[in-house]
Amino acid sequence: MPGLNLTRNEAIERASIIKRVHSYRIELDLPKDKDVFSSKVEIRFDAQEGASTFIDAITSSVKSINLNGEELSTDLADGERIQLPNLAAENTLVIDAEMFYTNTGEGLHRFVDPADGEVYLYSQFEVPDSRRVFPVFEQPDLKAEFEFIVRVPSHWVVVSNQPEVKVEEKECGCGRAKTWFFKPTPRMSSYITAIVAGPYEKVTSELTNSEGRVIPLGVYARKSLMPFVDAEDMFELTRQGFEFYEEQFKTPYPFEKYDQLFVPEFNAGAMENAGCVTYLETYVFRSKVAEALRERRAITVLHELAHMWFGDLVTMKWWNDLWLNESFAEFMSTLAAAENTRYAKEAWATFAASEKTWAYRQDQLSSTHPIVAEIRDLADVQVNFDGITYAKGASVLRQMVAWVGQENFMAALKVYFDKHSWGNTVLDDLLVELERTSGRDVRAWSAKWLETAGVNTLAVEIENDEAGNISNLGIRQSYAEGFETLRPHRAVIGFYNLVDGKLTRTDRIELDIDGEL
């Protein structure tokens, strides 16, 4: 039995059988005082007629399985997958199941606030955990529309990727309950869908985007934490991020709203759920903190917002390009901070001191690996979610932008977003556009920088004339033992004189460096 893992080969085979997933209609009944919850899903999809496959579902129990009007045996479910035999060309699958709440930050996490006893829920689906909340074809290239219908206690609110269209209140066996009906999402991957429910409190605002559309904004936190939430700072950063990204990408924000929620016991920094971003509560400051921590929060806010385009609108085909998702967002968040926020002076210095030094440390360990790593299965994703993925990837991406030119880089992104909106891509799809706009051999650059590991050292060699002036200057490149790759670099060399006790730059040369000398 393959268990909870999913191999890339299995995903490729399943995608060859499932021609298109049209929609999920997901009904959740979320009680506050139980260990399990009800999950009923209706899925419409096209498939290879007569073929068989499976759907992912980590369940407590499966009550019924109906495929194209025929009741199937629940023995086809093993608690982790449900087998689907004899598919039609057009299929409707209805599964009624019970799922577990978790306290580990996977699937639907349940938290009891010690301050007031209130229960708070939130989802965390990356990498493979939407299957803990509803049966799903759990791989990023099987995109679909998702429609959520969620029943909760009457004093709770529910937040999802899309705005609610109506809320109905009725009496039920456990007291009064409200059912929240949400608009179907655009086509997206399951790992960026989201459900957050509980007596969260909120602050609202709005912005007008580049195409004149009003985007509702919300900041949420649990009741006992809300007095400490700096919503206005969150809104200011969000507006600055929207303005910068829409101008740089020449692509409007792709979703209808933008909510940001601080959630308890979160096991990551933040998560880029489409239109429904979650953050750990450490970013709610209950007392005066160092400005560096506020800057870190700002970078995280801008990082998650960048994902709305790169990751959510256009998504990797498989997890081997996860590095590109994260590296892109990390680079773009620092660029946005440097060019359109109050952190303009320190953003790149902070990046060098934190991200780049982290990358250097990671890249000199025996555990280092190429930025583009082979991801054979879901287990490999967890192993490679590290400083190489985030910090070295972002540092190298900055070098790429310097090498092709920022204007060319952004022009390539515009075409990339236009071509692949609501779809899936591989790295080469981006490289093609970068080569077209820059005229440079980006694939050769990629092979040296992204597909090999290890650190290069650049050393200056200077010859002086009799008067002490520089007559010849060279840059020698070397590599670490065991990592015998010399790479192309775009570098800036500054020349300085000491004037009145201060260093004064007299000249600046920007050049390409390649080879040993």
Active site residues: 304
* Residue owning tokens 């990797």: 316
Please tell me the number of Cα atoms within 13 Å of 96 on its side-chain side.
7
How many residues appear in the chain?
Answer: 517
DSSP, collapsed to helix, strand or coil, labels residue 314 as strand
Strands 315-316 and 424-425: parallel
Q: Is the dihedral of CA 286, 290, 292, 294 positive or negative?
A: positive
- Name, in order, each residue with C-beta under 8 angstroms of 150's C-beta and a sequence gap of 6 or more: 27, 28, 30, 158, 160, 179, 180, 182, 195, 197
Distance CA 346, CA 481 (A): 34
CA distances to 155, 205, 256, 416, 456 from 217, in Å: 22, 5, 10, 27, 45
DSSP string spanning 107-176? EEEEEE-TTT--EEEEEE-TTTTGGGTS-B--STTS-BEEEEEEEEETT-EEEESS-EEEEEEEEETTEE
Run of H or E residues at 179: strand 175-182
Run of H or E residues at 516: none
Check if the beta carbon of residue 261 is closer than 8 Å to that of residue 247: no
Distance CA 153, CA 175 (A): 8
- Name, in order, each residue with C-beta under 8 angstroms of 109's C-beta and a sequence gap of 6 or more: 101, 102, 103, 121, 122, 123, 124, 263, 265
Q: Is the peptide bond before 492 cis (omega within 30 degrees of 0)?
A: no
Q: How many CB atoms lie within 10 A of CB 170?
A: 10
DSSP string spanning 198-213? ES-EEEEEEEE-TTS-
